[in-house]
Structure 1
Amino acid sequence: MSTFSLIINPKIVITVTLLAASLLSGCNHTQADTNDKKLANPEQEVSLLNVSYDVSRDFYKEYNDLFTSSYQQQHPDSQVKINQSHGGSSKQALSVANGLQADVVTLNQLSDMELLVEKGLVAKEWQQAFPNNAVPYTSTMVLLVRHDNPKNIQDWQDLARNDIEVVMPNPKTSGTARYAFLGAYGYGLHHFNESLQAAPQTDSFMKRLLANVVTYDNGARAATTSFTQRGLGDVLITTENEAHLVANKFAKGQVQIVYPSYSITINNPVAVVNKVTDKKGNMKGSTKAATSYLKSLWDKPAQQLMAQMYLRPSDTEVLAAHKGTLIEIETFEPTAVFGSWQQIMAHYFVDGGVFDQLALSTNSN
C-alpha cells in the first residue's frame, strides 16, 4: 500500500478517499432513514387472529375485508391481515385457554368469555371496553324445515311429536346448542305456565323432543351439513342468521324458515385477548389494531353488514330498516329465566346435569 501511494497523485488519493467517504455516508444515511421509518411505523405489518364460533364465519369473512380496507386508509403505511378460526363457541374458548394465540375472541356465550377472564387472558373489565356491554349484535333460535314444510312444523311443541326427527348440535360442545336447549325449555315454561321449581309438563315435553334428535353434531355448521347435505331430520334447530344463509344460499329452494312464537335472545360478546396482544409488544401494534378491529363493529357500515347477513345489529335504526327480514319475535334473556351463566352451566350442562338427565331418560325408554 505504501508503494502504491507514492506512485499515485496525492490529489487523486484525496479525491478517491472523499468519494468513498461520501458513499459510506450515503449508505449510513439510507439505513438510518429506514430505521427511522420502522420506528415511526411500528404497525407496518400486523397479523390478527380472530377466534370465533362456527356460524359467524360468513359475517367475519365479509367484515374482515371491510375493516382492512378502512384501517389501511387510516394507516397508509400499515398492512393488517386477519386470520380466522371457527368452531363450537365453548370449544374455541377452551382452545384459547389452552394456548391458541388469539388476538380477539368473538363468541356467542358469556360463560365462554368468563373462562378466559378466569385464565387471565381477557381483562376483567372487558364489557366496559366497548358499547352495549361488548355485544355488537344478537340473534335468536329458529326452526329450519324442508321445502313446503311437509310435516307442518309451526312451533317448538311440534318437535316433540312422534313423527318428527330433529337435528341440532351437542350442548356439551356448542354454545348454539345450549341456546337451542334453553330456547325449547324456556318455551315450555312459558307455554305451560310453569316455574323452574316445578315443571313436570316442560320436562316431559323436553324428553320427547330430545328423543327425536337423530344426531348431535359438534357445532352448528356441522349440524347444518347433516341436515342439508346428509339429508338427516325433518327440522334443524339453528340460529336465525344461519337459517337465512342456508335458505338463501347453501340450500336455496330446498328449505324454509319457521319462526317459533317464543324464543331466546343470543348475545354475541367480543373481547381483546390482552395477554396475547400485549405480549407481542407495541412494535407490532397488535393491541391497538385488535381494539380497532372490534370497535369498528359498531360503525354504521359494519352494523349494516350484520343486518344484511341476518344478524340483529345493536344499532336500533339499522335493525328497524331491516324489519322485513329480521322480523319481530317475542324473546327472553336466558339469564332472566335460568340465572347466571355460571348457574346455567353448573345446573344444565355439566356431566349428569339436567340436559343429560332428560336426554338419557329418552334412551332408556
Structure 2
Amino acid sequence: MVRKVLTAGLIVYVLGAFVWVVLAGFARNEQLLNVACDPTRELWHDINIAFAKDYEKEHGVKLGIRQSHGGSGSQARAVIDGLPGDVVTLALWTDTDAIRKAGLIEPNWEDKLPNRSLPYISTIVFVVRKGNPKNLHDWPDLGRPDVSVITPNPKTSGNGKWSFLAMWGAITTRGGTEADALEYVSQIYRRVPVLDAAARGATMTFAQKKIGDVHLTWENEAQLEVQEANGELEIVYPKVSVLAEPHVAVVDKVVDRKGTRATAEAYMKFLYTEPAQEIIAHHYYRPTNPAVKARTADRFPAIELFPASKVGPTWDAIQKRFFAEGGVFDQIYATGKK
C-alpha cells in the first residue's frame, strides 16, 4: 500500500512537473510573428531558419517564427486593426510610421536600430520578355504608346508606391518639370492593364499570365522572376531609379503585451550580423554592412539611385500629395478610366 501511494505520488509529481514545464514554455511565448511585405517570402524563410538555430543554441529553446505577407499598406492596416505582429518588415517608412501613429510603436522607432532601421536597401528595375522585343532600356522608353506596363496598386503595395516614385523621379531628377512628370506617369497608368494589390500578384500577372510588355518590380523580385522563367524573361537596369528603403521595427505594444520584447529585439539585431547580411545579399537585397556589401558587389549592377526626398520634402508630404484619398494617383487613375 505504501509503495502504491509512493508510486502514485511520484506519478502525480512527474505529471505536475511536466505540465509546469509545458505551461512555462507557453508562458515564455517563444514564438514571433513577422508581418512583412509581399515579395520577401524567400528572404524571411532563410533568415528565420538561421536566427532560430542561433537562438536555440544560445537559449536552449526552439523558437517558432510565423510570417504574414501581403501588400505593405494592407499589412500596416492589418496590424493597426489587431494583427499581433511582434515585428513589422514593411516596404515604406510611411507604412511603419502609420503603426506608430496608431500608438503601437514608440516614437523615434527609426533610430532604435543601426542605419536608420535599414538592414538592407533595394530599387525598382524592369523585367521584359526574352530578347527585349520592345527595346526598353530606360524610363523614357516606357512612355511610348505601344508599351504595356505591369505594376501593382500604390494604394496597397509598397512595390507600387516605389514604382510610382521611380517613374516620377526619373523625370524630375533629370531636368523635367512637375508637369512633365505628371503627364508621363499619367500616360503609363493608362497602359496598365491589371493593377494588382501586391507585388507577388503583379509578378504572376506578368510572368505566368503573360500580360504586359514590362514589369516594374523590386530588384530581388526581378531576379527570382527571371530565375523561374526558364529563359523567357530578362532584367533591364535603367540608368537611374529610386533608392527603396524598407525599414524594420519592433511593435512595442504587442511585444510588451506578449512578453516577447527581448526575443523580437534580438531577431531584429540579428539582421545586421554578417551571416544574416550574407543571406540578404544572396536574395538580391542590397546589404548595408560595409564588409558584406564589398564582398557581394558583383551581384548588384551599378545604378544611380535617387532618394525619395528628391520627389517630396518628407514622407508625410509624399503620402499626402501622391497616395492619400484624392491625391495625384487617384486623380490620374480616375482620369485614365473615363
TM bucket by the smaller chain? over 0.9
Match of 2:106 in 1: 123
CA apart distance, 1:310: 0.3
Partner of 2:34, secondary structure, is strand
Match of 1:234 in 2: 213
Of the three residues 196, 217, 221, the one matched with 2:200 is 221
Of the three residues 252, 276, 287, the one matched with 1:302 is 276
Asked if residue 88 in structure 1 is aligned to residue 71 in structure 2, the reply is yes
| Greater mean deviation of Cα atoms: 315-324 or 303-312 | 315-324
Match of 1:259 in 2: 237
Query: Deviations for 1:183-207, whole angstroms, at most 9, x for unmatched residues?
Result: 010001123x14xxx5222222222
Partner of 1:217, secondary structure, is coil
Of the three residues 47, 55, 72, the one matched with 2:39 is 55
CA apart distance, 1:339: 1.7
Match of 2:251 in 1: 273
Query: Deviations for 1:146-175, whole angstroms, at most 9, x for unmatched residues?
Result: 011011000111111011100000011111
Letter in 2 for 1:153: L
Letter in 1 for 2:248: V
Partner of 2:54, secondary structure, is helix
Match of 1:8 in 2: none
Larger gyration radius, structure 1 or structure 2: 1
Query: Deviations for 1:255-290, whole angstroms, at most 9, x for unmatched residues?
Result: 111111111011111111121221123xxxx22211
CA distance in 2 between counterparts of 1:255 and 1:54 reads 21
> If the length of structure 2 is used for normalisation, what is the TM-score?
0.93
Partner of 2:194, secondary structure, is strand
CA distance in 2 between counterparts of 1:35 and 1:223 reads 48
In structure 2, relative to structure 1, the CA distance for the partners of 1:25 and 1:246 (3 Å cut) is same
Match of 2:315 in 1: 341
Match of 1:181 in 2: 164
> Where does the alignment leave 5 or more consecutive residues of structure 1 unmatched?
1-15
Letter in 1 for 2:282: Q
CA apart distance, 1:176: 1.1
**Alignment root-mean-square deviation, CA:** 2.2
In structure 2, relative to structure 1, the CA distance for the partners of 1:231 and 1:28 (3 Å cut) is closer
CA distance in 1 between counterparts of 2:79 and 2:29 reads 23
Partner of 1:298, secondary structure, is coil
CA distance in 1 between counterparts of 2:131 and 2:167 reads 23
Contact 2:165 2:311 in 1 (8 A): no
CA distance in 1 between counterparts of 2:70 and 2:135 reads 32
Partner of 1:105, secondary structure, is strand
Contact 1:154 1:258 in 2 (8 A): yes
> If the length of structure 1 is used for normalisation, what is the TM-score?
0.86
Contact 1:173 1:218 in 2 (8 A): yes
Query: Deviations for 1:127-152, whole angstroms, at most 9, x for unmatched residues?
Result: 23211111111100001100110110
The number of residue pairs the alignment matches comes to 338
